[in-house]
Structure 1
């Protein structure tokens, strides 16, 4: 709470980090509202967040359902392997995917070349049109394992009698997922979406390592814009205002997701 209070305090000042600072009231916030770079970085955050919700939660749910199937062998091994990226530092993940994306010696372009798909080869981290999507892939990949564990725990908490009753009534595997698994873990999905939004609205490490926000500002997100403003330009007052703007927008999206998903329970 202390750093948050200090950020709010500094956001009302024009301050470069020295002993003296000038009180300017809401000027930083009025500037923030008109700041095209800030809203562009917010757009990038939204792209990362939406793709992460679809990718992280979608893939994790599918894998969780598959791993719960009776025919799957070595379930613990698969779960451990899928969870491994979660424990890797974001800096390491960024360097790994830098190597994968490298235009000259990257694995991705090498595979495409080997498959005679040269037309698909791209400078994945140097093309402003696709770079934000390229940096999102490692973020999705890294955190699938976390939501996999959450979903598997939720699925395991569903009474076996419910599935047995559905099988007696003739429900197939797909119908059981749609009409039993999803409704029974609805509250878990709500929490997972909120975690995904809050995590990706403050994403910084992976993108900073891979592109530094470039080329230009094409992959800059809000956290990096606040960092560059505060510690690159030493506009600490305005950087604090950007941070508070991040918090407000993140809370707004979380509240919106709660409102859209409603308070439905299993009984309803």
Structure 2
């Protein structure tokens, strides 16, 4: 067994199927999109080579800029809503004895639901005719003036969609962070409590250093997923009203498949891929450096 683990050919043999799938499902489509980005093409007529025109257009396209800034705002809200709230709930769950598994199941359940199902449910919750759950609650506590078509109003649409994204994916990061908290040696916590550490001090000086790597993984996963978020924004608002909730992914889809500008849509797709790779690379470097400084 030991000799097999040390055999590089055996490693390569086991990794080969995964590498092949990754190349054909990730690398090849990215390269193919990069190639299409050099052409003006509607998907039917012959392709017309335009060089870097589509890629240069990204920097002057006002709709693309709006989608990009919306994406950053969407990312910020979801980092707070998914990872931040997941951390808070995970800390609370460590205090729960009986019933902990029940709460973990309840929090994790939305993660396994399809984005379509969650989106359609929240469309009903946000509705005004008939009155949805959120607006009914506002009416019930005497805030009828605040009743709003949350997904149909420009100033609230993006935040409302972000709430749906938070609800669906927060449970995944809760489970990851909770596992990290439960892995902290109990004798370390007991020693810290005997020395007078409690509350925020106990978390910041004892618990957080132990789960720093877990938090790094959660943040990287969240950022990578949110930069490519598509299903929930597309189903709930389709980027509307106007372009109030337009993300780079929804704009790419509309450009390529609604406007049949496959060349420009491919250029946007390449931007999304490069943006995700760059963001993950920067975050990995930041967290690796912070770990080195801590050591």
Please say whether Structure 1 and Structure 2 have the same fold, judged by a TM-score greater than 0.5: yes
| Structure 1 position 129 matched with structure 2 position 155 | yes
Q: Give the whole-Å Cα distance in 2 for the aligned partners of 1:156 and 1:72.
A: 13
- Note the residue ranges of structure 2 that are not aligned, 5 or more in a row: 1-26
Question: Which residue does the alignment assign to 2:121?
Answer: 96
Pairing 1:97-246 to 2, within 5 Å after superposition:
97-104=122-129, 105-246=131-272
User: What is the deviation of 1:260?
Assistant: 4.5
Q: Give the whole-Å Cα distance in 2 for the aligned partners of 1:264 and 1:197.
A: 18
| Alignment partner of 2:33 out of 7, 19, 33 | 7
Question: Which residue does the alignment assign to 1:58?
Answer: 84
SS in 2 for 1:129: helix
Residue pair 1:66, 1:72 contacting (<8 A) in 2 also: no
Q: Give the whole-Å Cα distance in 2 for the aligned partners of 1:26 and 1:208.
A: 28
Q: Give the whole-Å Cα distance in 2 for the aligned partners of 1:194 and 1:39.
A: 24
Question: Which residue does the alignment assign to 1:85?
Answer: 110
| Alignment partner of 1:73 out of 98, 106, 114 | 98
Query: Could you report, residue by residue, the CA deviation over 1:160-199 in whole angstroms, capped at 9, with x for unpaired residues?
Result: 1210110111111332111111111111111211111111
Aligned length: 267
Q: Give the whole-Å Cα distance in 2 for the aligned partners of 1:255 and 1:98.
A: 36
Residue pair 2:255, 2:265 contacting (<8 A) in 1 also: yes
Q: Give the whole-Å Cα distance in 2 for the aligned partners of 1:36 and 1:261.
A: 34
| Structure 1 position 43 matched with structure 2 position 69 | yes
Runs of 4+ in 1 over 6 A off after TM superposition: none
User: What is the deviation of 1:259?
Assistant: 4.5
SS in 1 for 2:149: coil
Q: Give the whole-Å Cα distance in 2 for the aligned partners of 1:129 and 1:82.
A: 29
Q: Give the whole-Å Cα distance in 1 for the aligned partners of 2:200 and 2:271.
A: 43
Residue pair 2:86, 2:173 contacting (<8 A) in 1 also: yes
User: What is the deviation of 1:19?
Assistant: 5.7
Residue pair 2:40, 2:262 contacting (<8 A) in 1 also: yes
Query: Could you report, residue by residue, the CA deviation over 1:185-216 in whole angstroms, capped at 9, with x for unpaired residues?
Result: 11111121111111111111111111111111
Q: Give the whole-Å Cα distance in 1 for the aligned partners of 2:276 and 2:70.
A: 13
User: What is the deviation of 1:61?
Assistant: 0.5
User: What is the deviation of 1:262?
Assistant: 5.0
SS in 1 for 2:290: coil
- Note the residue ranges of structure 1 that are not aligned, 5 or more in a row: none
With 245-254 and 151-160 compared, the bigger mean Cα shift is at: 245-254
